[in-house]
A and B are shown apart, each in its own frame.
Chain A
């Protein structure tokens, strides 16, 4: 079988630049929000897209890491100037990143990937696990009609309701809940230890949201693979449209290394490894061979 010539989403709007850190603040346990000055990327990026970040002038850590857009920041004239990225400081690069202060720099390239489609829907249900809430603040704001993203800006009729089902290990790992609530997003929390919200799985929270709001809706999901698989299964069982944002490890983010492959179903019932960075990271849940 021949593959098509092009992947769906090459880095055609991406720029590589050294971006100044405006602030880098702690949001929750081991979780930080870094604000980067990059008007070009901030103008172009849409929710669900990501950028690659790398420490400047060092060879260890060597490879950049992929981070979803948390939100863009506007200047006094309403022009996007900065990018907010929320990250968990758990590895070699992110631990060092957490120590960086305003005025320092990171190497950045983006925007990358497809982002969530701008298809209007009455009720958008966002399901997040772990650090998987990060793509959903901007998405929620956009679907509530409070913010616009992209160049030219994506415009579509707003949703009546946007819900976030957010699962974390414990209450101190919940990051950015205030940001979501301030936006008018309904937040339902689940924690593994019961320290906040529902004591149990985020899929159980999703189930009750679906039960109480049977109207037209779409589920979007980001988090650990097992959780995304469970959400995809639940969505399929209930006939809900569902998109997932995959977090496969990446080395380049731009389609040249073939690291970040996921098994994507093809038309003839088989599957092929597809590059998450240039074919995703957002996929229809039904297209994934879990």
Chain B
């Protein structure tokens, strides 16, 4: 069940996505946290952020549109208050960080490098709900430079989480790979909107938001498939994964691991069921390890 993401070794490929699992303590009695392949706490920014005004989420057909706005208490509070709990778990802790400038990313990475109990960092260069930060996920050159600078600031393995809201995601993924990312997480949410026509208003307080859930799974699979053909860097699939079939689809399409996101909201024990079902699904393909099935999708035509 073990998987290798560059320099980062994980006990299994079932991770929980940043922003969909709180700081893990919330889930202590609903799942066995120690069984998870990796935990990504809610994205941390250098300074506290109150987050966006409500409404912050709205359900759409088979999806959820959110604009939380990186509500968090900042890096110092994270290290002082959340990390002590997280480092007591056996699951690897991959800290998701977002900066407005390369300097912020670098400073946060350096600080987390000195903190005990961090297995890796995921660079959130793809949140659609804040200003600044997202450029590193939409421009190949700034993406590469950012990851290069963060690599120099820390020995921790780095994941780059990319946005699907670009014309050619493979270009950005190549830049992340060239910059030295250990793995590429695909995808963050898809920019969307909901409208209340009777009141002639956007539903979300922040007007636009990021779409997640089963509605975006085909987009995420397409991104994994395209990027798997462009880089050799390991990929982590994210986007609407809720069943073991979803997990297997991502692995076969080219992801070495997956992150479960929105499904945690509506099916809190989902990860435990996926972990129970994974060995059987691998066996159906005659595979004895996760790596045996990664990227084995057949070329058609």
Mark A residues whose CB is within 8 Å of B.
Answer: 1-7, 10-16, 54, 59-64, 92, 107, 109, 248-249, 251-252, 254-259, 261, 272-273, 278
* Other A-B pairs beyond A10-B25, A63-B59, A64-B265, 14, CB < 8 Å: A2-B77, A2-B80, A11-B27, A61-B59, A63-B64, A248-B54, A249-B57, A251-B266, A252-B265, A256-B22, A257-B20, A257-B57, A257-B66, A261-B51
The reply on B269 being an interface residue by CB < 8 A is: yes
- Interface of B (DSSP majority class): loop
A-B pairs with beta carbons under 8 A, tally:
119
Name 5 interchain pairs, CB-CB below 8 A, sorted by A: A251-B265, A256-B27, A258-B19, A259-B55, A261-B51
Residue ID in chain B nearest A65 by CB atoms? B59
Contact call B54/A12, Cβ cutoff below 8 A? no
Chain B residues closer than 8 Å to A4, beta-carbon distance: 81
Assuming the A-B contacts A63-B59, A258-B51, A272-B50, are A3 and B26 also in contact, with contact meaning beta carbons closer than 8 angstroms in the complex?
Answer: no
The reply on B63 being an interface residue by CB < 8 A is: yes
CA distance in complex: A103, B269 (Å): 24
Q: In this complex, which of B66, B265, B267 has the most chain A Cβ atoms within 10 angstroms of its Cβ?
A: B265
Chain A residues closer than 8 Å to B266, beta-carbon distance: 54, 62-64, 251-252
Q: In this complex, which of A1, A59, A249, A278 has the most chain B Cβ atoms within 10 angstroms of its Cβ?
A: A59
Chain B residues closer than 8 Å to A273, beta-carbon distance: 50-51, 71
Contact call B22/A2, Cβ cutoff below 8 A? no
Chain B residues closer than 8 Å to A59, beta-carbon distance: 62, 213-214, 242
A81 to chain B, nearest CB (A): 22
Chain A residues closer than 8 Å to B42, beta-carbon distance: 258
Residue ID in chain B nearest A64 by CB atoms? B266
Contact call A63/B265, Cβ cutoff below 8 A? yes
Contact call B68/A16, Cβ cutoff below 8 A? no
Task: Report which of A12, A107, A255 forms a contact with B267, defined as CB distance below 8 A.
Answer: A107
Contact call B26/A254, Cβ cutoff below 8 A? yes
CA distance in complex: A5, B28 (Å): 14
Chain B residues closer than 8 Å to A259, beta-carbon distance: 54-57, 66, 68
The reply on B61 being an interface residue by CB < 8 A is: yes
B246 to chain A, nearest CB (A): 11
Q: In this complex, which of A16, A258, A261, A273 has the most chain B Cβ atoms within 10 angstroms of its Cβ?
A: A258
Contact call B20/A256, Cβ cutoff below 8 A? yes
Chain A residues closer than 8 Å to B51, beta-carbon distance: 258, 261, 273
Contact call A257/B71, Cβ cutoff below 8 A? no
Contact call A252/B214, Cβ cutoff below 8 A? no
Scan B200-241; emit 1 where CB is below 8 A from any A CB, else 0.
Answer: 000000000000011000000000000000000000000000
CA distance in complex: A61, B21 (Å): 21
Q: A-B pairs with the 8 shortest C-beta distances? A: A255-B26, A256-B22, A252-B265, A5-B81, A59-B62, A259-B57, A3-B73, A2-B77
Residue ID in chain B nearest A107 by CB atoms? B267
CA distance in complex: A251, B212 (Å): 13
Assuming the A-B contacts A92-B59, A261-B71, are A254 and B268 also in contact, with contact meaning beta carbons closer than 8 angstroms in the complex?
Answer: yes
A223 to chain B, nearest CB (A): 18
Q: Which residues of chain B from 51 to 97 have any CB-CB distance to chain A below 8 Å in the complex?
A: 51, 54-57, 59, 61-64, 66, 68, 71, 73, 76-77, 80-82, 84-85
Residue ID in chain A nearest B67 by CB atoms? A259
Contact call B62/A62, Cβ cutoff below 8 A? yes
Residue ID in chain B nearest A7 by CB atoms? B26
Chain B residues closer than 8 Å to A3, beta-carbon distance: 73, 77, 81
CA distance in complex: A2, B84 (Å): 15
A248 to chain B, nearest CB (A): 7
Chain A residues closer than 8 Å to B268, beta-carbon distance: 16, 109, 252, 254
Residue ID in chain A nearest B242 by CB atoms? A59
B138 to chain A, nearest CB (A): 25
Chain A residues closer than 8 Å to B267, beta-carbon distance: 16, 54, 107
CA distance in complex: A76, B57 (Å): 43
Contact call B50/A109, Cβ cutoff below 8 A? no
Chain A residues closer than 8 Å to B116, beta-carbon distance: none
The reply on B11 being an interface residue by CB < 8 A is: no
